[in-house]
Amino acid sequence: MEKVNPDIFRAYDIRGLYPREINAKVVYKIAQAYVKLFKPKEIVLGRDVRISSPELSKAAEKGFIDAGVDVIDIGVVTTDMLYFAVAYYKYPGGMVITGSHNPKEYNGIKIVKEKAAPVSAGSGIEELRDSVVSNYKFRAKNPGNVESKDVKSDYIKHILSFIDKEKIKPYKIVVNPNFGAGGEIIEKIGKKLNQNLIKINFEPDGNFPVPEGRPDPLIPKNAGKISQKIKETEADFGVSWDSDADRCYFLDETGKLESGYYTAALLAKYLLSDNGGKVIHEPRLTWAIIDYVKKAGGEPVVSKAGHAHIKKAMRKNEAIFGGEMSGHFYFKDNFYCDNGMIPFLKVLELMSISGKKLSELYQPLHDNYKISGEINFEIKDSNKLLLEFKEKYSDAKISELDGVSVEYDNWRANLRASNTEPLVRLNVEARDKKILDEKVEEIKGIIEKYE
């Protein structure tokens, strides 16, 4: 009897090394446990481009059909296409085999219930873990059936409904789907909107043959490659996605990689200009989003970081938009789910309507909101660190919604333990660069004692 490492069950998904931690036997058990917990009659199943994903997808399929559940196989997809398929066609649940932005030796699973509501910490992942670890198995008298379904055309029609196609101007755009499943969708969008796409890392390849071996838009070498191509081709801007295409980052015409925080503020303001309403943001960096939302007549609502928390807050508040600095952007009209293609389309529309370069749209954010960028530390005892951090700045306005946030009139900082990696993450923002630099060094001095 194979032992399952319970640590593969994370706060927001399931993730581990293949085949040591994630393999066909483990995935079979996870599918069986899903049926025990949620009792669906049918389920949507998709997978990313990883070399190990076909085997793991077959194992999930067998786990479901053995339990008497019909499987709707949507094939190789982006993660947000799985969300779309479950919510749009009103299926009771779904599962996508994906290692997201991790190196090729990893794989994992993202799981949803009906309406594409996430299965995560506090909403079923612990129960799934316990069933899998206990080696739960079930074989129904009547096995389920498998049906293949192509969701691409409906998905593309859906995401294009977020813009006025007639207003889109032609641009030269460097696009990098990081060898994932997003390339086909990006190409079809580009053709429909008459865009000149300059492709990098475009063909699906589960080996992810980038120099760093990790399909992550934030890796400096990766961003540097796009930046160089923008300059070489005199492109108007660049866009980069992680390999499952649910995160989206922009680079302006000078090749500068823009923060997801600034993009969230920009999109919030633009969406509110049409609709009004509430916008969900996280506590790591807040001032730009709060200011932009209020100026546009909206209401900012803070939530813990992470897609499960943001989606819950989106639904509770019926918010029109939510954004994280991690490059996840959520839309009410996308079933309250995150999507990596809609931000690309909305920025394209904003540029077309405003007539501004991308750098001009971001410049006020750079001018008025100085940020450190996320700084990561490997820490032995994060609890003691957070306690000292809170005591050091005890005269600040303090929030413990997600880690510890301290706020003064001219600067604020958030220090939190990662939910996905053994790291503590620091983010600082300030009214001017001098204060920002001083406070980053000051807080680093506290943190370094615990490394």
Asked if 231 and 138 sit in the same domain, the reply is: no
The answer to whether position 186 is within a domain reads: yes
User: Which CATH number do you get for residue 145?
Assistant: 3.40.120.10
Note the pLDDT of residue 65. 98
Reference 401, options 306, 315, 304; nearest CA is 304
Q: Is a pLDDT exceeding 90 seen at residue 248?
A: yes
Asked if 145 and 159 sit in the same domain, the reply is: no
Those residues whose C-beta lies under 8 Å from the C-beta of residue 387, and which sit 6 or more positions away, are none
Residue with tokens 């889109």, as numbered in its chain: 168
Asked if 36 and 113 sit in the same domain, the reply is: yes
The answer to whether position 351 is within a domain reads: no
Q: Are 259 and 369 in contact (CB under 8 A)?
A: no
CB atoms within 10 A of CB 232: 11
Asked if 35 and 126 sit in the same domain, the reply is: yes
Task: Give the model confidence (pLDDT) of 6-51 as tens digits.
Answer: 999 998 899 999 999 999 999 999 999 999 999 999 999 999 999 9
Q: Give the bridge partners for 399, in sequence order.
A: 405
Domain boundary pick from 127, 150, 173: 150
Q: Is a pLDDT exceeding 60 seen at residue 1?
A: no
Task: Give the model confidence (pLDDT) of 70-121 as tens digits.
Answer: 999 999 999 999 999 999 999 999 999 999 999 999 999 999 999 999 999 9
The answer to whether position 310 is within a domain reads: no
Assign 3-state DSSP to the chain and report helix, strand, coil percentages, each to 5. 40, 20, 40
Rounded to an integer, the average pLDDT of 57-64 is 98
Asked if 46 and 88 sit in the same domain, the reply is: yes
Asked if 127 and 205 sit in the same domain, the reply is: no
The answer to whether position 348 is within a domain reads: no
Task: Give the model confidence (pLDDT) of 267-288 as tens digits.
Answer: 999 999 867 899 999 999 999 9
Domain boundary pick from 117, 150, 183: 150
Asked if 13 and 143 sit in the same domain, the reply is: yes
Q: Is a pLDDT exceeding 80 seen at residue 237?
A: yes
The answer to whether position 409 is within a domain reads: yes
CA–CA–CA angle 180, 18, 419 (5° rounding) = 75
Q: Are 288 and 266 in contact (CB under 8 A)?
A: no
Domain that includes residue 392, residue range = 370-450
What's the chain's average pLDDT?
Answer: 96
Considering its fold, how many domains does the chain have in total? 3
Annotated catalytic residue within 57, 100, 259, 326: 100
Asked if 105 and 190 sit in the same domain, the reply is: no
Rounded to an integer, the average pLDDT of 300-306 is 95
Note the pLDDT of residue 369. 98
Domain boundary pick from 216, 231, 251: 251
With a threshold of 0.85, does the pTM exceed it? Answer: yes
Note the pLDDT of residue 364. 98
Asked if 129 and 166 sit in the same domain, the reply is: no
Asked if 145 and 173 sit in the same domain, the reply is: no
Sign of CA dihedral 248, 251, 257, 259: negative
The answer to whether position 266 is within a domain reads: no
User: Which CATH number do you get for residue 421?
Assistant: 3.30.310.50
Lowest mean pLDDT among 44-58, 209-223, 362-376: 209-223
Note the pLDDT of residue 407. 98
Task: Give the model confidence (pLDDT) of 116-166 as tens digits.
Answer: 999 999 899 999 999 999 999 999 999 999 999 999 999 999 999 999 999
Helices (H) and strands (E) in the chain, counts: 14, 21
Q: What is the DSSP string of 430-450?
A: ESSHHHHHHHHHHHHHHHGGG
The answer to whether position 365 is within a domain reads: no
The answer to whether position 284 is within a domain reads: no
Asked if 83 and 20 sit in the same domain, the reply is: yes
Asked if 210 and 144 sit in the same domain, the reply is: no
Note the pLDDT of residue 274. 66
- Our answer to whether residue 303 is catalytic in this structure is no
